[in-house]
Structure 1
Amino acid sequence: MPRRSLSATYRLQLRGPDADPHGRSFTFADAKAIVPYLNELGVSHLYLSPILTAPPSSNHNYDVIDPTEVNPALGGREGFEELAQAAHEEGLGIIIDIVPNHLGIDTPKDNPWWWDVLTYGEESRFNSYFDIDWSPGNGADGKLGIPVLGSPDDINAITIVPIDEDNAPAHVEGSGEPCRFLLDYYGNYFPVRPGTEGDDPLDVLSKQRYALRYWRDGVIGYRRFFSVNGLAGIRQEDPVVFEHTHRVLRKLIAAGFIDGVRVDHPDGLADPFGYLSRLRCVVGDHRLLLIEKILGNAEPLDPRLDVDGTTGYDALRELDGIFINRAAEKSLGAIAQERSESTWDSDSYESAIVALKRDVATNELAAEVRRLARAIRHDNWSTIGRDVTDEELTLTVTDVIAHMPVYRADYLSLSRLTSTVIRKMAHDNPERSAALDLMTAGLMSYGEAWTRFAQVCGAVMAKGVEDTAFYRACRLVALQEVGGSPGLFGVSAAEFHLLQSERANLWPRSMTTLTTHDTKRGEDTRARIIELTEIPDDYREFLSGLATRAPAPDPATSLFLIQNIIGVWPSSGRIDSQLIDRLHEYATKAVREAGLHTEWTDVNEEFETSIHEWIDSLFTEETAEFITSFVQKIASSGHIVSLSRKLLQLLAPGIPDIYQGTEFPEDSLVDPDNRRFVDYHLRRAALAEIREAVELGAHVSSPEGPSVDDIPLLPDSQARKIAVTAVALAVRRERPYSFIGASYVPVFAQGPAAHHAIGFARGSRHTDVDVVVLVTRKPLELERSGGWKDTTLSLPAGRWSDRFTGERYSGDIALADLFHQHPYTVLVRDTPSLPDESPR
């Protein structure tokens, strides 16, 4: 069957059986089994997590250890081809996720390229593949420093063992003589280069081209993915590396199995622009090419990049923001001030992240900053700054990085940002002028220093903001998503429409999303948390009552955690052991990431125990009933927000992605919680029930026919969400010309409650609009103010059908009538005029 026009993607998280303690898996074969269901749901493309070989225990596969083969744990090349063929037979395309920035090295013997470098050092033919610091001043006397020892004394725990079938490392054909002995550090093996064997482990270790170091020493001889020691950066700027790491991709594209590519973390690369230009040549102009580019607020995507757009975090921020009641900003800020000594408004948040980023650059990423400082000195062609000490330069570089407001600033659209930051710092800190001059001279060479500055800025931003600040800010945690900002409280209707129009005109094939494998909270969890902005006074009263019933060991931590707990708490009040376990696991991760009272590397057991005891106290009968009664105040309105936002996402400009399982309500928190297995049997049955109850094809249902409320066996929330998803996808599939490369026209209601409606019209640029979308926002405030009253909507000329109810309208409609069954609608013109051309 010919592949359908690009309209919507469905993200699948693949994993082998060794990645799950119960031996469950989701492989190519499992994905193949749900292809008919996904076709029925209405998507056009499957969007797969990384497919190249990762450790069998990986539950995400971003830690690729062999980029030259398709992951055997997922079914290998044969399994992937069978999946692709099955998808193509159904008319669906395949998009794969690639990881060009790094490779997994956590278990050195499993990565043949890394093992070869450890064995032969600079003589290895893979030496140039990795971004390794062999300089004499690298802290390891010019050797490759590996931060693996648990304590300084652990050096004495290393032993020598012969290679056998249980510990045999991967070996690359054509490399030098393979090792016969290994250095064994508690079951983690390192090579003994042939000719350096001996009986004394420390003597043998001293002869290797690597140095095993205590992890707290900060001696790390390679660029990492952020601060993850087990992920080593690779040099895609080298054409040999690019060709070798993309060989499988080339073959799969040439064979016709791949229809699009998503690029993980391009900001980590030395030259994202050059890399993406080469990748576009591999992918071809007609295949989708998306990048996981995290854009700051008001940061544009560089128009020079030869890509179709981002993976959608920018859209997520906009779609969440339009449903936030901005009038509650001060009230929630005051609550946060009482409990965390910060309002977390834009000013206080910016101050906090500068301090956090400075701390990250000084500690977790100190090795990368020191290497950058050495590069600045090396690249300085002038006599400027010769009297500046290493300490002064490092401190100055750290402060500049801490003040950079974006991930990396070497994109054309941000070309003046670095100079602006340096100029302000020079004005505020005249004593730093010599160090700033030296830094500027080094960066202006546009050599290694310029590249490393861009790479380190992104890593510091990610660790300081996403991995730390987002676990401390507690005004409204729904704001704390990748690309978001706790300091920016919502989006106005005008801003929302302008941003959608920009995407429609500049990046019509950019992805939009509401949930990903990296979101801190799933879409339905955030929707309920957003509804706290509708009842700030009730929320304050609830917090006071909760503090009386279940006093917390730390006010700021409890304020952060309770919002997440509200987001996932069952409105029925029925708590199971699985939810309790999930909340304990989440709390452990949250408090360690925040790093205020405990850390991953310095666990405060007393504090963590107190937090877990507090969480357990929430499940006592009286307290649980108190929480349930509060959650019930916002459960229904949270569901309305979720459905309305879903409908906007599915029909707004861009290519909507549906993260696995989110066609049903889902209550996920941060990974690994958001990577749980999905029950597709239930979803398949639900879709079948809906298709019996509501016609989702080219014809609408009769107004007298059954509605989603009548579907048996399904909870109302599940039925409604999968119906919203299927209806929207059906409209996109029927009228592709109305969405990609199409017009975007804001729709405004008239009347006293007009601000509670948000919507738009879509249509081909060659014809009139033929789809109108309108949804409800701030539903509790709408109810308190007496409903829609005489608020109306003026439709464009023609007869329009509601795809949820089958009712037909024209002219002016009372919103009380339009929304009498559902708080959202999709209206389609009965007889659309087809344009002369369709989107590619």
Structure 2
Amino acid sequence: MGDTDKSFPRIPISTYRLQFNHTFGFNDARGIVSYLHDLGISDVYASPYFKARKGSLHGYDIVDPSALNPEVGTEEEYSTFIRELGKYGMGQILDIVPNHMSCESENPWWMDVLENGRSSPYADFFDIDWNPAIKKLSGKLHIPVLGDQYGKVLESQELKLRFEEGAFFVCYQDIKFPILPETYVLLLNHHTEDLRNLVSNDNPHLTELLSIVTALKHLPPAAEKDEEKIGERYREKEIIKKRLLALYLESTDIRKFIDDIVDMFNGKKGDPRSFNLLDGLLAEQVWRLSHWRVANEEINYRRFFDVNNLAAVRTEDPAVFRETHKLIFRLIAEKKITGLRVDHPDGLYTPSQYLEKLQRECFSRLVFMKPPEDDHEQSDFGPEVLRQYERLLSSDPQYRPFYIVGEKILTRDEKMPEGWPIFGTTGYDFLNSLNGIFVDSKNAKTFDDLYAKFTETKNHFSDVVYENKKLVTQVAMSGEINTLGNYLNNIAEKNRHTRDFTLNSLTRAITEVIAFFPVYRTYINSWTVKDRDRQYMETAVSKAKRKNPAISAFIFDFLGDVLSLKFPVDFSEEDKKEWFEFVMKFQQITAPVMAKGVEDTAFYVYNRLVSLNEVGGSPDRFGLSLEAFHGQNLDRLKFWPHALITASTHDSKRSEDVRARINVLSEIPDKWRECLTRWSYLNKMKKTAVEGQDIPDRNEECLLYQTLIGAWPLGRPDETEYDVFKKRIKEYIIKALREAKVNTSWINPNAAHEDSVTSFIDAILAISADNKFLEEFEPFQKTISYFGMLNSLSQTLLKITCPGVPDFYQGTEIWDFSLCDPDNRRPVDFNRRRTMLTSLKESMAKHGPDLKAGLKELIEKWEDGSVKLYVTSKALTYRGDNHILFMEGAYMPLTAEGELRDQVCGFVRQRGNKAVLVVVPRFMTQISHFTVEAPFGEKVWAKTGILLPDEISGNIFKNVLTGEEVKVIRRAEKRVLALADVFSCFPVAMLEGTMDLGFKKEPI
């Protein structure tokens, strides 16, 4: 499948994403390796499987990056899985999480910080502001985790003091917060006179207790920074815990004393004063607990987006990099990992520098062939190894020793950042361009009008984005924005020309600029700002200035100067560093605001055609021209030939097959308008009126109908299956409404609205004779499903043959009608897929070289998914056998002629004297003489054909998918492949030349 022997990097031919968790472990993965190999997959693409929070379904909430997740499997089970991959020559790409960790009780680093504050060796591992503008948080870590106001939680006894294994903790639900050891004195000194009354002064247990108290008083404080003193603190506090535990176990009197103290500090319900003791103890800790809502304004550690229990780590610190990557590098040295997928690189301080170091360290492990005994800094590998790497890099600046791709989300027309030493993105850019060519752009205006009329709104998508990015900065991430505002205010105070700018105006200016920021982030990492980054900064500042005439233009100019590092001539080095640090922090915030404001809000508000609402997509761009699609493929071949290209991922808003169905609506706007109007009329009486508003509203209704069209099960489900489907739809719609933040939200769930929506769904999906909606919906949906099937086969073949490395999300080799997570993380029935593939291969083998009869059966029973599995396995196998052609070969767009020329997409992949023509249909509803009973051949395609370029001299091509020979014909002196022949019995085609094609052009 690929080169795994001597040279590196190992470039995958195709990848298959597996989601590891407690329901699917290493043994399960080992069991399907042979199936994936038979399918044509070269590399497993694994979700994170380092130790994560208990019960994690996705693995991104890592608590220990130095250990495998025990819920996924043991070290031996992992090794067995790796050996099985090796048996078939398959590689493994691992998804790694350098940006954040779960900050809960299971994370020993986080717990150490809570117990030891600034003196913890891990205090600087996390991106914590120990000196925030809010003075009450100075020296403290603010943890917004409580379900209600602190006082209410305290007095309802939800915060419980515990004594365990010689240490004191405060527990909230299943979360533990360690007490500062030096504050044990507040506990052990409380009511000691009661203990003295029980035992004599010379009692050895009392003497030991008093000795422990004395030792506690002499502990170096939590704010200690001297390394020798910190070492003393760690030694002594652990000795004290052991002594205290031994004393607790040995003496019934001491045990009773400590238990009574714990009970006393835990207070009594109904007696507010009884909680003063615990309140006082908590006030002395280095952490401060508060209501979770407070996080939006006062949190002082950087999070992953707005998720409170995912704390950002400072990977730019060499110690943090070393500790978080130890296991990764060991597995690379042991050849157990052959590639990496870097999650959310935009959250890193300097992504390019991180990726450069990652490549350098991977190179070192590959040269050593085994992990060094002391896996520390790169210097441990010796200067010769590093010199070797630098020599290779200087001779070829594009040299990449290890296959790494980054989850970089590119916005409309944005290019990859220059100089990133990786092989490309994880494929969202391709996903959106592929999806775009199946959306009929000529109907954009019609869709605008029907959506505006039906929803009675006239919002442009750009306005929706602006408003919702502002909403995120003001609600979900106002704490981060306030921190930036204070930082900028401190900068302004130092100059007499800017000192009069108020904190409030500066913070508002930051909010407005971020709301208009056109990309996820910029990548300034020195005092020299690249033109690309400067342009993005200036564009955002200019738009913000025009939008806000009430804010002084001088404030925006000042902010623009800081962001572009336009230093005054008299600036000192310290002044420059201060501006630079502000820019670095600013850059880390724009990406999560874009993600939360656009992907997780605007995409659920703007429901014109929801198949366009995909990560990295531009829903305002209604479709993509074939010229643009081919142009993007040519660019990828030239600059990023080994980037992943995909159609579904674990983060997709909808699966590829759901989008393929919904895209069909773009072809039939008049029919869609009629359906929307009719269905809304039929279901009007099923709505609930709350405070004069019909629920769901028209926009929500528009989303619901499109979702039902896209996710509707094939065939007639039994009662149990139908109930499961309805439950999935209700869960999805509630999530969508909360993400939209219009009538309900995660922060303020509107139970009345949500209950009304779910009741509406139950009513319109009820199986009953008088449900006219279902009576009309099902036949329409069934027709859409058929055309969606054709779309899906087309996009599947394009994904496998376009420039790049095709990636398959688990289960999508057959029909998959999943919605966004967690719906798309449901268990996959691999036994069914394995059986289907075996039966498929046996069935097709029986027909010999003439596959027409077998293909006819596949089309007739298309609903079982075998036809998609056939296209996937046949095309992947061919790609594997000819991988150099697809990895390095040229790409030439093909032109069609005839009445249906716009209904076909085609191109040539060529290397040397071998060429493969890929041709797929689109917009099939527009073929007036198309029928489900006779979808192919002369009756459909009439005189439409593909024009062959002069470079291709062959006259006979073999269809890889059907086994047929297709002959070139001449029309008006043009060499043509008639689509009636190309699509004689199957809806997509991959044609291989059977003779010398005479195309000598060098690959791009």
Give yes or no for the alignment of 1:293 onto 2:389. Answer: no
AA of the residue aligned to 1:538: K
Paired amino acid for 1:433? A
Q: Is the 8 A contact 2:21 2:59 kept in 1?
A: yes
Among residues 539, 553, 578, which one is paired with 1:433 in the alignment? 553
Deviation at 1:768, TM superposition (A): 4.3
In the alignment, is the contact (CA less than 8 A) between 1:493 and 1:758 conserved in 2?
yes
1:11 aligns with 2:7: no
Aligned to 2:298: 219
Deviation at 1:687, TM superposition (A): 1.1
1:714 positional shift: 6.6
Which runs of structure 2 are paired with 1:243-392 in the superposition (5 Å)? 243-284=322-363, 285-342=400-457, 348-379=460-491, 382-392=495-505
Partner of 1:355, secondary structure, is helix
Cross-structure match for 1:492: 625
Question: Any idea what SS the aligned residue of 2:298 has?
Answer: coil
Q: Is the 8 A contact 1:139 1:219 kept in 2?
A: no
The reply on whether 1:191 has 2:355 as its aligned counterpart is no
Alignment of 1:407-486 (within 5 A): 407-410=520-523, 412=530, 413-426=532-545, 429=548, 431-443=551-563, 444=565, 445=576, 447-486=580-619
Contact preservation (8 Å) 1:388, 1:434: no
Going from structure 1 to structure 2, the CA distance change for 1:417 and 1:701 (only over 3 Å counts) comes to farther
Q: Distance in 2 between matches of 1:487 and 1:342?
A: 15
- Find 2:717's aligned residue among 552, 574, 583: 574
| Separation (CA, whole Å) in 1 of partners of 2:830 and 2:957 | 34
Match of 1:797 in 2: 953
Letter in 2 for 1:195: E
Once residues 717 and 325 of structure 1 are traced to their aligned partners in structure 2, the CA distance between those partners, rounded to angstroms, is 28
For residue 148 of structure 1, what is the aligned residue in structure 2?
145
Question: 1:405 corresponds to which residue?
Answer: 518
Q: Give the one of 815, 824, 837 matched to 1:687.
A: 837
Q: Which runs of 5+ in 1 are unaligned?
A: 17-24, 166-178
Match for 1:154: what amino acid?
V
- Whether 2:110 is the aligned partner of 1:114: answer yes
Helix, strand or coil at the partner of 1:405: coil
The structure 1 residue matched to 2:820, chosen from 667, 670, 682, is 670
2:242 matched to which residue of 1? none
Following superposition, the deviation at residue 141 of structure 1 comes to 2.7
1:627 aligns with 2:777: yes
Task: Specify the code of the residue in structure 1 equivalent to 2:359.
Answer: R
**C-alpha contact (below 8 Å) 1:701/1:805 kept by paired residues:** no
Contact 2:715 2:863 in 1 (8 A): no
Partner Cα distance (1:132, 1:417) in 2: 28
Task: In structure 2, give the amino acid aligned to 1:127.
Answer: A
Question: CA shift at 1:188, angstroms?
Answer: 2.2
Q: What SS does the aligned partner of 1:309 have?
A: coil
Contact 1:379 1:449 in 2 (8 A): no
Q: Deviations over 1:621-666 (max 9, x none)?
A: 3322221011022111110001101110111011010100100011
Amino acid paired to 1:148: V
1:593-639 CA-to-partner distances (Å, cap 9, x unmatched) read: 11111111211111111111111112233322221011022111110
How far residue 419 of structure 1 moved from its aligned partner, in angstroms, is 2.0
Distance in structure 1 (CA, Å) of the matches to 2:504 and 2:51: 42
1:726 to 860, 868, 873: 873
Shift of 1:378: 4.2
Partner of residue 169, structure 1 = none
Letter in 2 for 1:341: E
Q: Matched residue of 2:341: which SS?
A: strand
- Counterpart of 1:828 (choices 992, 998, 1003) is 992
1:525 alignment counterpart: 658
Q: What's the CA shift string for 1:247-299, capped at 9, x where partnerless? A: 00110011111110000001011111111111111234343100000000100
Q: Provide the identity percentage.
A: 36
Does 2:920 align with 1:775?
yes
Larger Rg: 2
Native 8 Å contact 1:708 1:723 kept in 2 = no
Counterparts of 1:439 and 1:5 in 2: how far apart (Å)?
44
Query: Secondary structure in 2 aligned to 1:336?
Result: helix
In 2, distance between residues paired with 1:426 and 1:159? 48
What is the alpha-carbon distance in structure 1 between the residues aligned to residue 603 and residue 162 of structure 2? 47
By how many angstroms is 1:441 displaced? 4.8
C-alpha deviations, 1:668-724, integer Å up to 9, x for none?
A: 00100001111111111111122223369xxx9523664234369975551110011
State the shift of 1:325 in Å: 1.0
Q: What secondary structure sits across from 2:739 in the alignment?
A: helix
- Structure 2: how far apart are the matches of 1:559 and 1:42? 39
| SS of residue paired to 1:74 | coil
CA distance in 2, matches of 1:329, 1:136: 49
> Following superposition of structure 1 onto structure 2, how do residues 648-667 of structure 1 map, counting pairs within 5 Å?
648-667=798-817
Structure 1 residue 131 corresponds to structure 2 residue 118: no
| Distance in 2 of aligned mates of 1:830 and 1:223 | 60
Deviations 1:367-386 (A, max 9, x none): 11111122324456644421
CA 1:181–1:329: 2 relative to 1, 3 Å:
same
Instruction: Quote how far apart the aligned CAs of 1:442 are.
Output: 4.0
RMSD: 2.5
* Equivalent residue letter for 2:616: G
Q: CA deviation digits over 1:91-141, x for unaligned, max 9?
A: 110000000110011xx3210001111111111110110000111414643
Cα 1:114/1:770, change in 2 over 3 Å: same
- Asked whether the equivalents of residues 103 and 234 of structure 1 are also in contact (C-alpha less than 8 Å), the reply is yes
CA contact (8 A) 2:464 2:605 kept: no
CA contact (8 A) 2:604 2:737 kept: yes
* AA of the residue aligned to 1:336: Y
2:15–2:41 Cα contact (<8 Å) kept: yes
Q: Deviations over 1:224-244 (max 9, x none)?
A: 111000100010111111111
Distance 1:695 1:504 in 2: 35
**3-state SS of 1:73 partner:** coil
Distance 1:7-1:704 versus aligned 2 partners, 3 A rule: closer
Written as runs of structure 1 = structure 2, the 5 A alignment for 1:166-245 is: 180-197=167-184, 198=187, 199=265, 200-217=277-294, 218-245=297-324
* Deviation for aligned residue 1:216: 2.2
- Call closer, same or farther: CA 1:5–1:395 in 2, change over 3 Å: closer
Following the alignment from structure 2 to structure 1, what is the Cα–Cα distance between the partners of residues 482 and 998? 61
Are the equivalent residues in 2 in contact too, given 1:573–1:625 (CA < 8 A)? no
Per-residue CA distance 1:373-424 (angstroms, 9 max, x = gap): 2232445664442111111111010000000011102265444210232234
Do the aligned residues in 1 keep the contact of 2:344 with 2:407 (CA within 8 Å)? yes
Preserved contact between residue 944 and residue 980 of structure 2 (Cα < 8 Å): yes
Q: Distance in 1 between matches of 2:617 and 2:859?
A: 39
1:71 matched to which residue of 2? 69
* Aligned residues of 1:639 and 1:717 also touching (Cα < 8 A): no
Q: Secondary structure at the match of 2:161?
A: strand
Structure 2: distance between partners of 1:57 and 1:704: 47
Aligned to 1:232, the other structure's residue is in SS state: strand
Tell me how far apart the structure 2 counterparts of residues 789 and 182 of structure 1 sit (CA, whole Å). 78
The Cα of 1:189 is off from its aligned counterpart by 1.7
1:342/1:548 CA distance change after superposition, 3 Å? closer
Q: Cα 1:121–1:746, aligned 2, differ >3 Å: closer, same or farther?
A: same
Q: Give how far 1:82 is off.
A: 1.9
The one-letter amino acid paired with 2:984 is: H
CA contact (8 A) 2:437 2:623 kept: yes
TM-score (norm 1): 0.92
CA contact (8 A) 2:918 2:989 kept: yes
**Alpha carbons 2:844, 2:851 under 8 Å: kept:** no
| Change over 3 Å in CA distance of 1:154–1:745 after alignment to 2 | same
Q: Secondary structure at the match of 2:121?
A: coil
> Relative to structure 1, is the Cα distance of residues 136 and 578 closer, same or farther in structure 2, using a 3 angstrom cutoff?
closer
Q: Aligned residue pairs: how many?
A: 809
Tell me, in whole angstroms, the C-alpha distance in 1 between the residues paired with 2:637 and 2:848: 30
Question: Per-residue deviation at 1:63?
Answer: 0.5
